[in-house]
Structure 1
Amino acid sequence: MADGIDPTPPPAAWRDPRRPFWPLALLVPGLPFLSWLVWDATGRWWAWWLAPLLVFGVIPVVDLLVGDDQENPPEEAVPRLAGERYYRWLTYLYLPAQYAGLVLGCAVWAHDRPGPLVGAGLAVTLGIVDGIAINTAHELGHKRERTERWLAKIALAPTGYGHFQVEHNRGHHVRVATPEDPASARLGESFWAFWPRTVVGSLRSAWRLETNRLRLRGRTPWTWRNEVLHAWAMTVVLFAVLTVAFGPAVLLLLPVQAVVGFSLLEAVNYLEHYGLARQRTAAGRYEKVDPRHSWNSDRTVTNVFLFQLQRHSDHHANPLRRYQTLRSFDSSPQLPAGYATMVLAALVPPLWRRVMDPRVLAHYGGDLSLANVHPPARRRLSGPPPGTGTPQPSSR
């Protein structure tokens, strides 16, 4: 302050410093086109492996170099920020780019008959784009606007994971950080044990939730009003159209890229609530969800590319907040790196346990009874993880 004038701008004048950078998220669905251009120019198989290299190699390095951004918008500015359609259109534009990449991939698959290395890279590239599109669907599917919820289903169709919208909104958000939630990983549970539990459990949960909703209205689940059937029908229609357009050969590509896509989603689910638990109240119910029940990351670059999904603690505490208004809290447990890095760590269970188990225990002051523990791992976890000594507090 100088001469009695406060230099801090009033909330109404606050501007989002990331505003110019949010369009970078649209580079993700452009990855198939980048690979195709390089492949067309060079004819080299590695062109179709650029997407995983960039997502899981370059982005973690840039994330580390750029560092964290813990700035939160002032609450007085949130209504204006949430109402700006600029941010919504960025999520909308992901979808046509996503589908254009899928069409390009099918055309390459059908017309060029790629060999194993090119074919595998093509499937992985499409899977990464469609897997990250589930995050876009996640942002859209939480909103009250009917159009955005339908766009979420469209984004989910290429992975055949349309039931995610039902299970995530009405199942996961209710049961998060409890043993009953198939999408909350338990302390000591490897990703490879979590994957079948969450894939099968989430599908069953979505069907059960929708069946119960319809039966309360006196309807059979076998109706066009069933949102799970809506979503699956969209996948069937999409795959049928692509098969008619490019031939039956794409029926090998489409399921493979779908599995890659929803497996990427489940890897993210795995790290978002690993080992965290809501405690029961005196009344026997689980405590209210708050920022302590989700792992958070303020890594700037990955937050831009994922529409701030990494501020997951605020999302679960306030599911209707739009991505540009999500906040970072000191009470949230912090991941040691961004999602792109942590997904790779999750694929290597010994590395994951060495990095994350001490952080979970430190979050609960060493009290294992407060964590969501994988039953087969309880005995191993009752002592300090090998080679780590006393658990150290997590750092931001």
Structure 2
Amino acid sequence: MDTAVSSWRDSKRPLWPLALAVPALPFAALLLATATGSPWAWWLTPVFILGAIPIIDLLVGDDRANPPDEAVPALQASPYYRWITYLFLPAQYAALVVTCAAWTADPGIIGGIGLVLTAGLVNGIAINTAHELGHKRETVERWLSKIALAPTGYGHFFVEHNRGHHVRVATPEDPASSRLGESFWRFWPRTVLGSLRSAWHLESSRHRLRSRSRWHPRNDILNAWAMTVALFTALALTFGPTVLLFLAAQAVVGFSVLEAVNYLEHYGLRRQRNAAGRYEKVDPRHSWNSNRLTTNVFLFQLQRHSDHHANPLRRYQTLRSFDVSPQLPAGYATMLLLALMPPLWRRVMDKRVLAHYGGDPAQANAVPGYHARRPDL
């Protein structure tokens, strides 16, 4: 083995457990609420995730280092990294119980909104953990992925993301790939409804090919949704039926966080058709990337999205940065906020999409009539 490779160490190894700080935030908020009696304490989680992390991201900067190829097998096999993703789940569920208990204590309007955002952000970010686990071949990790999805009721993501989005990514046919000139608020209903329809079609087709009813217990959507029903029923029996309103509201926030991330990951990017009329193979040019170290640690390197699409079975600790990948101007936490403000988003991102395609919007995945509507771009 090469000496340089044998001496290589993952410099981010001690940082990965910081991802568990996300489900720990509601407990810090509980301590603050108990100490101060202020309902504003329940805003700690959204303020930290959407306020502090973008600032830390800017101060810490980028990390472009990639592991050497020879080190990847050992990194892939190390149980240390996968146990961090496993531990996220009990922390996620404990945080949900804490926020449900706080909801039943009547925190008022200010505290209630903070609680919904708190639980929604934690469970929305947990969808990223489900994403990491759901791509693996190991049965236990695939089931853990569904468990992580249960609090948001988004179990169909397990089917649509793996078998739909990864096939159609960066094409007009993909409901999870946003289009140049499309605001997040127009993208949201298209992707939520489109992904649900696509997942049901994919799973129904799978069972039809096996000569089974789509209502079979092995339907991955139905058993994932059954987990949500069981979870919400247990929480309603524990905390009373009023908690169901809270659970529904935080679920909408949670899966909206996921869809906001989907929005920024492939905005305007398009795979071209080859001479045979088929879409070209997915490559690093078809995903927006970010090397911001802080958000990459908190999101298990989701921002190295190009490598993930090229190699879905690669575990997060082995994902690489590519120079040819289009780069976001900031990390996901910052870009998520920008996506909620369409005029600012388009001012920042449209010119980057057009630059990626040499100024030709016809090569981009654009809304119909984009060039005619925005001739100044």
What is the CA deviation profile of residues 150-196 of structure 1, one whole-angstrom value per residue up to 9, with x for unaligned ones?
00000000000000010000000000000000000000000000000
Letter in 1 for 2:5: P
Following the alignment from structure 1 to structure 2, what is the Cα–Cα distance between the partners of residues 40 and 275? Answer: 46
Number of aligned pairs?
376
Indicate yes or no: 2:176 matched with 1:183: yes
What is the CA deviation profile of residues 188-214 of structure 1, one whole-angstrom value per residue up to 9, with x for unaligned ones?
000000000000000000000000000
Shift of 1:13: 2.3
Shift of 1:9: 4.7
Tell me the equivalent position of 2:91: 97
What is the CA deviation profile of residues 109-152 of structure 1, one whole-angstrom value per residue up to 9, with x for unaligned ones?
12x11211101100110000000000000000000000000000
Shift of 1:107: 1.1
Tell me the equivalent position of 2:10: 16
| 3-state secondary structure, aligned to 1:237 | helix
Tell me the equivalent position of 2:376: 384
Indicate yes or no: 2:44 matched with 1:50: yes
Contact (CA 8 Å) 1:188, 1:378: kept in 2 or not? no
Tell me the equivalent position of 2:290: 297
Following the alignment from structure 1 to structure 2, what is the Cα–Cα distance between the partners of residues 167 and 363? Answer: 28
Shift of 1:307: 0.4
262, 268, 273: which one pairs with 1:275? 268
Following the alignment from structure 2 to structure 1, what is the Cα–Cα distance between the partners of residues 35 and 77? Answer: 44
Following the alignment from structure 2 to structure 1, what is the Cα–Cα distance between the partners of residues 222 and 324? Answer: 40
Tell me the equivalent position of 1:123: 116
Alignment of 1:133-212 (within 5 A): 133-212=126-205
What is the CA deviation profile of residues 41-91 of structure 1, one whole-angstrom value per residue up to 9, with x for unaligned ones?
001121111111111111111100111000000000000011100000000
Deviates further, 243-252 or 179-188: 243-252
337, 342, 347: which one pairs with 1:344? 337
Following the alignment from structure 2 to structure 1, what is the Cα–Cα distance between the partners of residues 271 and 283? Answer: 9
Indicate yes or no: 2:212 matched with 1:242: no
| 3-state secondary structure, aligned to 2:280 | coil
Alignment of 1:314-325 (within 5 A): 314-325=307-318
Percent identity over the alignment? Answer: 72
| 3-state secondary structure, aligned to 1:143 | coil
348, 368, 372: which one pairs with 1:375? 368
Shift of 1:378: 3.7
Letter in 2 for 1:55: I
Following the alignment from structure 1 to structure 2, what is the Cα–Cα distance between the partners of residues 380 and 273? Answer: 21
What is the CA deviation profile of residues 91-112 of structure 1, one whole-angstrom value per residue up to 9, with x for unaligned ones?
00000000000011111112x1
TM-score normalised by L of structure 2: 0.99
Following the alignment from structure 2 to structure 1, what is the Cα–Cα distance between the partners of residues 373 and 70? Answer: 48
Give unpaired runs (5+ residues) of structure 1.
1-7, 386-396
Following the alignment from structure 1 to structure 2, what is the Cα–Cα distance between the partners of residues 117 and 201? Answer: 33
Shift of 1:369: 1.1
Letter in 2 for 1:384: D
Tell me the equivalent position of 2:35: 41
Shift of 1:10: 2.0
Shift of 1:220: 1.2
| 3-state secondary structure, aligned to 2:107 | coil
Indicate yes or no: 2:360 matched with 1:332: no
What is the CA deviation profile of residues 308-363 of structure 1, one whole-angstrom value per residue up to 9, with x for unaligned ones?
00000110011110000000001100000000000000000000000000000000
Letter in 2 for 1:126: A
Contact (CA 8 Å) 2:39, 2:107: kept in 1 or not? no
Letter in 1 for 2:265: E
Contact (CA 8 Å) 1:102, 1:126: kept in 2 or not? yes
Shift of 1:376: 4.8
Shift of 1:215: 0.4
Letter in 1 for 2:247: L
Letter in 2 for 1:32: P
63, 70, 74: which one pairs with 2:68? 74
Tell me the equivalent position of 2:256: 263
Contact (CA 8 Å) 1:109, 1:253: kept in 2 or not? yes
Following the alignment from structure 2 to structure 1, what is the Cα–Cα distance between the partners of residues 76 and 335? Answer: 29
Following the alignment from structure 2 to structure 1, what is the Cα–Cα distance between the partners of residues 170 and 372? Answer: 21
What is the CA deviation profile of residues 239-267 of structure 1, one whole-angstrom value per residue up to 9, with x for unaligned ones?
00001111101011000000000000000
| 3-state secondary structure, aligned to 1:10 | helix
Shift of 1:384: 3.0
| 3-state secondary structure, aligned to 1:328 | coil
CA RMSD of aligned residues (A): 0.9
Tell me the equivalent position of 1:389: none
Contact (CA 8 Å) 1:272, 1:294: kept in 2 or not? yes
Shift of 1:289: 0.3
Give unpaired runs (5+ residues) of structure 2.
none
Shift of 1:377: 3.1
